[in-house]
Structures are given as structure tokens and as C-alpha cells.
Structure 1
Amino acid sequence: MSVRRVVPNIRSSEQARSRDFYGLLGFEEVMDLGWVMTLASPEQPAEQISVVSQDASAPVHPDLSVEVDDVDAVHAAVVAAGADVVFPPRDEEWGVRRFFVRDPDGTVVNVLSHR
């Protein structure tokens, strides 16, 4: 299993305002699904943040997204370790397979792979 990228998920009810603010820091919009917008550094595209109003399909808001090469292998490992899976593995219509797990301190992590 390997990590491909890590993205903080910032809650916002006013995504345009957040986009403008993070634009001042050098970020540019690279994706907008209406409920989640991803901003990235033009020079370092893997340097990203996501601005989320509410998750489109999950009942909880993830604080952090971790893209991995094999989401099902990671799911099996966290289940075997007894971690709290708060949203089961699911194929989403926007092209990812993901699940949410709570870390020991309560942070909700969205673990995903692109299909």
C-alpha cells in the first residue's frame, strides 16, 4: 500500500469566498463538483486543499483525504486493526472508491483511490 497524496478538507458555506482567500496564497481552482472544490498550486499540482460545503453521499464530514493505491487493502488493514470505519467502502459517481475511518483522536479520514 502506498500513499499518493494527502488533502485537508476545509468546511465552508461560502466556497467562492474561500476560493478567493486561498487564491491570495497562490492556489487555483482545479475541480468543482458544487459541494466540493479542490484548489491546487499551479507549480506543485499535488499540493492541494479541498473546500467542502457538505459531503454528497456520506453522513459525516471528513477532515482529511488520503489517496492510496489500493483502497480495499487499506480498508482490510484498518478493519483488522479494529479501527472505527464510519462510512463503508463505496464506488462514487465522480470516479473514486472510498471509505471513512476515524483515527484514534477522532479525526475522520476519507481514504480513496481513483478508478
Structure 2
Amino acid sequence: MYAKAITPILNVSDMQQSFDWFEKLGWKKCWDWGEPATFGGVGSGECEIFLCLNGQGGRGHGGHRATFGPDCDEAGETGVWMSIWVDDVDAVHRHCLEQGIDVAWPPTDMPWRVREMHVRHPDGHVFRIGRGF
């Protein structure tokens, strides 16, 4: 198999809330389907994520604020986890704080040579935003 691209699909509880959240993150709504919309897509650069209302996968948020460290419960985080690679993690962090996005892990230089932070979607999906060093 030679894969040309991959498009994750997130189970969401509210399409408009999800479109709005991704716009705060700096992504754009690409399309939606249905009246009212039950499926859609958001994009940034060459990347796209599909959103499915109440289907195609699970949602998460184990009830713990932190996604890493002593106060987390990684097994309880049942939403989708994805890595987004960026040029400047700290600039994204500042933007997320300005937009009121839930930052579940602040920018940290990790032992696997990635500076990363985590943000959580309202349905518990976690995005690891990072850059290698």
C-alpha cells in the first residue's frame, strides 16, 4: 500500500461549536453536508479533518484537566489524539490563550526532542501541537 493522505474523522456533539472551535484555533471551515449539517470538514494548509455529528468514533475527556504529568489519567482520555506539526509552538500557545482554548498541557521540551503543547476540543479530542528540536 502507498497512502497519499489520511483524513481523521472526529465524532462531535455540535457541528457549529466544532467549526467555531477550529476557527479559534486558526483553521477554516471547508465544507458541510446536510440540512442541518451532520458532516463537514475543516482545514489548515494541506491538512483536513472531517467532523461527524454523533457518529464514526468516540468522544473523550476523562474528567482530568491535565493530559500529561502526575495529575493526568491517560487511560481515561478516550477521545482521538492527533499531532499537529507547526513552526512555533509558543506562538500557537499565545494564540490559544487569547482565544480561550482549553490548553491541557503548556509548551514543554519533551525528552523525545519535541517541544509540544496539548489543546482539548470541547468533545475531549486532544491535539498535540509540536515542533521537533
TM-score class normalised by the smaller sequence = 0.3 to 0.5
Instruction: Choose 1 or 2 for highest CA Rg.
Output: 2
| TM-score where L is the length of structure 1 | 0.47
Give TM-score, length-normalised by structure 2.
0.41
Normalized per residue, the structure richer in strand is 1
